[in-house]
A and B are shown apart, each in its own frame.
Chain A
């Protein structure tokens, strides 16, 4: 899809430039900060997406917010995105950047869905175990979804290991239906 292409191009450009200017780690931290800020502050997202707010005003807000705490490159990049009227895609550009960064550093993104929250110690144990199994660094995203009832569901780069109770129950349901139809 064209939209995804756009986000990848902006993210790749930022990544390449940061690498060239030897400030990749700092820009990475900035991107994490921007992502968190956007996710935690709905008003910021609304402002960025609002087409009636002029780009100049949006730029002023961004500079006021991130001007001091972020790298010059990051702030300039944000300004460029606003000038080009692509601020609506800011979050997904950040996601793409993080994806490229993790790929470059051989960090695998692992999404773990559980029915209940777990303590930090157990979380670290899981992370360690996955690092050993996958033989690479991992970026673990833990999500809680009570609908899976129990067990866990692990997604690693387009592959899913669904060991949830919900999946097992749905298999049993299907089997019952097949048997009922055959009777």
Chain B
């Protein structure tokens, strides 16, 4: 047996505890009056601030929510456990915050930044980012001008999203809302590999833990966790953890945004967050409003989504941004962006319900998914007529803008004529042409899950549809045509695809695309 000298143990202990501050200070305390349903009423804490973290005798933390005449309402951020009436509660004089750093990338954490993936503690330097923070003012922003490629043809062509935009994904259950968000995350792999990563933050709010585990597995399988952080507040977590989760996600995104990088945050979903907030508000005895939601449920979502923006591309101006956390000072860079993809689940397609209308009015556009389309095999089941992107058009690359200019109009026309064509058998040739083109475009816009497409491929195939080069190809063969066409393009004209990627498109490129399209189409034309 090896001998351990007592002096060695003393030295290790001394080293371990060298930073421990054992000085006693005067702390502000209160007494627990009542506790139940994750809400604690505390007597005392006269100087407590709204949003401040407080610590209970058992180490559990809570956030001050209600400041009333003779008591303070606190929401617990953990299990009530052994907190009892009469227990002491201490002020921490810290606003609720989450430790953020590079070590967070690739990890699964909870609302307070604690890792829940079993891979040990978060490593590296972290900065405390406040969960609640004011959005940057007007002078620290710039218009959306850079595209955020989702890799989904229907979105990138007709409902384009720009970096710094807030685009709502809305639809009933089982319509593919999460699939769109996940595909967007997967598509950022291209930028990660190119050395210009778009850091993705997926906030799972009120979902089953098994769903989150499955999602993490999918991201790992597609090698997407290298630039992704998953923040999970599952259905088993307390309501406060659920409604603070999107704010914590925004705080992580802000870290990347304010350090001059691009980030994408997916809030999946804000309907459940609103429900969690309603629960807490009612328990705090705040007056209920429409659908029993508290009056400030609009402000809950607007203040969250306002934090997504494109920061001005000027380091000097950006560094004087309002409400910068102390830890970020000196590290701020301009040109970063935070794109938000909030998700809302509707009930029976009712987009005029309270929360959907609120979030629609806050965001810069919406992608509306329909069960009917989904059930008829059109995936992604995007209703082009109702979906819109208010600012993304400016961020589209030139080639895509030029090609997809008429696509949305064509498809809207097709949807209208399709309904009429069901009534009569005699259709004039012009209408028939529109219908045939529309049907082929619908096939082109179909896309399987987890297979995002690069922008140059999207432009190439959409050009074929828009120009009507597929008119002779049977509808059932359009998907096969697409595969062959792209293989041939990569093999024969990679330079053309590169040129499209750079945003160029001219007659020469059209000719080459036409040549390949006709060569491929000939294989499928039924004589």
Binding site for B on A (CB under 8 A): 1, 4-5, 8, 155, 158-163, 167-168, 171-172, 175-176, 179, 181-182
Contacts and interface: CB of A to CB of B under 8 A. Distances in A.
B471 interface: no
A115 to B, nearest CB: 16
Interface of B: 16-17, 19-22, 24-30, 33-34, 41, 43-46, 68-71, 88, 90, 120-121
Nearest to B16: A179
B88 A160 contact: yes
A107 to B, nearest CB: 18
B17 A175 contact: yes
A175 B70 CA distance: 36
Q: DSSP majority for the A interface?
A: helix
B22 A168 contact: yes
Given A158-B45, A158-B46, A168-B22, A4 B27 contact: no
Choose among B27, B28, B43, B68 the residue with the greatest number of A CB atoms under 10 Å from its CB. Answer: B27
Contacts of B46: 158
B20 A160 contact: no
Contacts, number: 55
Nearest to B90: A160
B26 A160 contact: yes
Contact of B70 (A4, A162, A163, A167): A4
A170 to B, nearest CB: 8
Contact of B22 (A4, A171, A181, A182): A171
B405 to A, nearest CB: 55
A120 B81 CA distance: 38
B88 A8 contact: no
B59 to A, nearest CB: 8
A163 B24 contact: yes
B71 A4 contact: yes
Given A159-B29, A162-B24, 17 more contacts: A1-B68, A1-B70, A1-B71, A8-B70, A158-B29, A158-B45, A159-B27, A160-B27, A160-B29, A161-B25, A161-B26, A161-B27, A172-B17, A175-B16, A175-B19, A181-B120, A181-B121
B71 A159 contact: no
Q: Which 10 A-B pairs have the closest CB atoms?
A: A181-B121, A175-B20, A160-B29, A163-B24, A158-B44, A160-B27, A4-B70, A1-B71, A179-B16, A159-B26
Contacts of A179: 16
Nearest to B71: A1
A174 to B, nearest CB: 8
B335 to A, nearest CB: 33
A5 B33 CA distance: 13
A158 B16 contact: no
A167 B121 CA distance: 25
27 contacts: A1-B70, A4-B43, A4-B70, A5-B70, A155-B29, A158-B28, A158-B29, A158-B30, A158-B44, A158-B46, A159-B26, A159-B27, A159-B28, A159-B29, A160-B26, A160-B27, A160-B29, A161-B26, A162-B24, A163-B24, A171-B20, A171-B22, A175-B16, A175-B20, A181-B120, A181-B121, A182-B121
